[in-house]
Chains A and B, each alone.
Chain A
Amino acid sequence: DQQVKQNSPSLSVQEGRISILNCDYTNSMFDYFLWYKKYPAEGPTFLISISSIKDKNEDGRFTVFLNKSAKHLSLHIVPSQPGDSAVYFCAASPYYGQNFVFGPGTRLSVLP
């Protein structure tokens, strides 16, 4: 039973364009959401977060949008750079800082 879904296993985008990574969740108790980026042979690194009291959070080239009624969030990267090529994990938790449930990840390839 996947509580956090990332239905696109992979995504290819041209350098300079926008990358949009999507995440859906089923548990209405989830209140806090994170995006992590993972390079091969490394652990996931935190990218950006959003809590359910907001619908948008922006940090430089990265923006996360949350649609709580649709149980959907997305990560926008603009402009995309080749160094953004990695696997992106969406994670959700009903408690601040506790026991996140991760999606299966989306592999982003940014083509020069």
Chain B
Amino acid sequence: DTAVSQTPKYLVTQMGNDKSIKCEQNLGHDTMYWYKQDSKKFLKIMFSYNNKELIINETVPNRFSPKSPDKAHLNLHINSLELGDSAVYFCASSQESAEAFFGQGTRLTVV
């Protein structure tokens, strides 16, 4: 009965491949996010998506694109994967209260 779930938990892939990470929330929240936790453990926001409005962190390469088929889902597509994309990616959601609920993370390793 997980509130925010993301799949897969682990993803190992070769450079140049295209991959997707799925995220679903069953909390009825209006806003969903993708965060990247880099090698220095910083959690940095990549995207927020609210009622069809996408806010992009300008530092995110355009190889990364979020796709939201409906309010409960925000999937992350990554094209032409690079070694530097290796990180843990967290999906999160929030409603009117400020705190976000996070998924368990997806550890992406690009080899």
Contacts and interface: CB of A to CB of B under 8 A. Distances in A.
Interface of A: 32, 34, 36, 41-46, 49, 87, 89, 91, 93, 96-105
B48 interface: yes
Given A97-B31, A98-B48, A99-B55, A44 B43 contact: yes
B41 interface: yes
Nearest to A101: B45
Interface in B64-111: 90, 92, 94, 96-105
Given A99-B48, A99-B55, A89 B98 contact: no
Given A32-B98, A96-B98, A99-B55, A43 B4 contact: yes
A89 B43 contact: yes
Contacts of A101: 45
Nearest to A48: B99
A43 B55 CA distance: 22
A102 B43 contact: yes
Max chain A CB contacts within 10 Å: which of B4, B98, B102?
Answer: B98
Main secondary structure of the interface of B (DSSP, over half): strand
B44 interface: yes
Given A100-B100, A102-B35, A104-B42, 16 more contacts: A34-B98, A36-B102, A42-B104, A43-B4, A43-B92, A43-B104, A44-B43, A44-B102, A45-B101, A46-B101, A49-B99, A87-B41, A97-B98, A99-B55, A104-B40, A105-B41
Contacts of A100: 45, 100
A29 B44 CA distance: 18
Contacts of A49: 98-99
A93 B98 contact: yes
Nearest to B40: A104
Contacts of A99: 45, 48, 55
Contacts of A41: 104-105
